[in-house]
């Protein structure tokens, strides 16, 4: 399997800038949430700077303190952080457009906000401002102030308990590839009713709160209430998009359901935990490995806007993030070439947001990748599901 010393060149014409911001606020559960975020944005020049560091070594070293990771890998290397990025820290925002549309990226649970560097860079290179947040307890990161935050023991315990839950394992063993809707719905409802999911959903709700807080902050940056390069430069009135991988996909769906500033979302190999009776009321796309349709069918059944279900063959769960380029453990990878997988994920994400945020003609149904199938496109109305 090919190894890479740098991430691929971005797909768009803009040079990509990256800046880091720290945040702190009191959440609805009265906890103090200390966040960080990487913001990727269009620029006109690298200004002679070297490319941004991919992941801080101190953050990578914290993997060894995560019980879930150490139990899963049994002493094997996870991935390498010795790779060249295609973005530059703290350069000027491009002057080519007056304002730029905004997206959020949500990494998987136990991961780091840098894990979406490739897709965030690609999207910024075509003219989006993209925000990737480090969430307390459920992700690991180094704040700009230098402090390190690792996955909390409680979150690790909850993930471990879910992965070992006898009821969940029994249900997983019964999941079918491409089941009929009635079978898939029964399976999905049985999974979502598991008591073990209640705590996982609480963490997703807190992550969603983090995103809403940072969205508020962006509005203040754009208004000039807070001084930054983004003053008067964010195109917020057309709505915000959001994409999340794995556990981050749950947060993505919750944000879409609860915040009307977010007008569409994408879940990358995610699930529907906490969404048993939820109408997202937003256009939503799910790109996943089989048999994950069983875990998500309820989203489209309840959603009053379009829900797209695309299955992708010959891939594994972590192929949807940067690990396609940084991996050293081939057991974590699917069979698709890293560049093909990157192009696939970026194309579906780009076309979806270009269509639903920028109202461009591009659409996801026009894309053609071998082994990527549109299982279903649904929309709920008073007469039931329209396919």
User: Model-level pTM?
Assistant: 0.95
Asked if pLDDT for residue 386 goes beyond 80, the answer is no
What is the pLDDT averaged over residues 316-328? 89
Residue 327 pLDDT level (bands cut at 50, 70, 90): confident
Residue 18 pLDDT level (bands cut at 50, 70, 90): very high
Asked if pLDDT for residue 31 goes beyond 60, the answer is yes
Residue 331 pLDDT level (bands cut at 50, 70, 90): confident
pLDDT value at residue 70:
63
Q: Structural domain boundaries of the chain?
A: 15-378
The fold of the 15-378 domain, in CATH, is Rossmann fold (3.40.50)
Q: What is the pLDDT of residues 65-109, one digit of tens each?
A: 776 666 655 556 667 889 999 999 999 999 999 999 999 999 999
Asked if pLDDT for residue 302 goes beyond 60, the answer is yes
3-state secondary structure the chain: CCCCCECCCCCCCCEEEEEEEEEEEECCCCCEEEEEEEEEEEECCCCCCCCCCCCCHHHHHHHHHCHHHHHHHCCCCCECCCCECCCEECCCCCCCCCCEEEEEEECCCCCCHHHHHHHHHHHHHCCCEEEEEECCECCCEECCCCCEECECHHHHHHHHHHHHCHHHHHHHCCCCCCCCHHHHHHHHHHHHCCCCHHHHHHHHHHHHHHHHHHHHHHHHHHHCCCCCCCCCCEECCCCEEEEEECHHHHHHHHHHHHCCCEEEEEEECCCCCCCCCCCCCCEEEEEECCCCHHHHHHHHHHCCCCEEEEEECCCCHHHHCCHHHHECCHHHCCCCCHHHHHHHHHHHHHHHHHHHCCCCCCCHHHCCCCCEEEEEEEEEECCEEEC
């Amino acid at each position: 399997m090919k190894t890479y010393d740098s991430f691929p060149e971005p797909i768009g014409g803009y040079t990509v800038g990256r800046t880091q911001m720290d945040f702190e606020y009191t959440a609805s559960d009265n906890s103090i949430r200390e966040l960080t975020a990487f913001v990727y944005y269009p620029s006109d020049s690298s200004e002679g700077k070297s490319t941004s560091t991919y992941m801080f070594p101190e953050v990578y070293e914290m993997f060894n303190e995560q019980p879930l990771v150490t139990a899963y890998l049994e002493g094997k290397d996870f991935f390498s952080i010795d790779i060249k990025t295609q973005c530059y820290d703290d350069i000027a925002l491009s002057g080519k457009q007056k304002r730029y549309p905004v997206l959020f990226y949500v990494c998987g649970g136990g991961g780091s906000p840098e894990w979406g560097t490739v897709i965030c860079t690609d999207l910024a290179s075509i003219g989006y401002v993209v925000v990737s947040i480090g969430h307390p307890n459920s992700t690991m990161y180094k704040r700009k102030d230098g402090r390190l935050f690792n996955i909390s023991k409680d979150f690790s315990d909850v993930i471990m308990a879910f992965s070992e839950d006898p009821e969940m394992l029994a249900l997983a063993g019964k999941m079918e590839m491409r089941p009929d809707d009635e079978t898939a719905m029964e399976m999905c409802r049985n999974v979502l009713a598991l008591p073990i999911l209640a705590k996982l959903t609480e963490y997703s709700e807190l992550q969603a709160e983090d995103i809403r807080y940072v969205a508020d902050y962006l509005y203040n940056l754009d208004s000039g209430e807070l001084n930054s390069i983004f003053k008067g430069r964010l195109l917020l009135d057309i709505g915000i998009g959001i994409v999340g991988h794995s556990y981050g996909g749950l947060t993505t769906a919750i944000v879409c359901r609860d915040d009307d500033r977010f007008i569409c979302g994408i879940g990358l190999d995610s699930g529907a935990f906490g969404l048993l009776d939820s109408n997202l009321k937003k256009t939503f796309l799910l790109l996943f490995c089989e048999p994950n349709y069983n875990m998500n069918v309820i989203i489209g059944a309840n959603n009053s806007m379009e829900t797209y279900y695309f299955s992708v063959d010959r891939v594994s769960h972590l192929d949807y993030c940067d690990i396609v380029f940084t991996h050293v453990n081939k057991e974590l990878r699917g069979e698709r070439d890293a560049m093909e997988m990157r192009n696939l994920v970026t194309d579906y994400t780009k076309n979806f947001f270009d269509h639903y945020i920028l109202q461009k003609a591009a659409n996801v149904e026009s894309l053609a990748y071998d082994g990527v199938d549109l299982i279903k496109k649904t929309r709920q109305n008073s007469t039931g599901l329209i396919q």
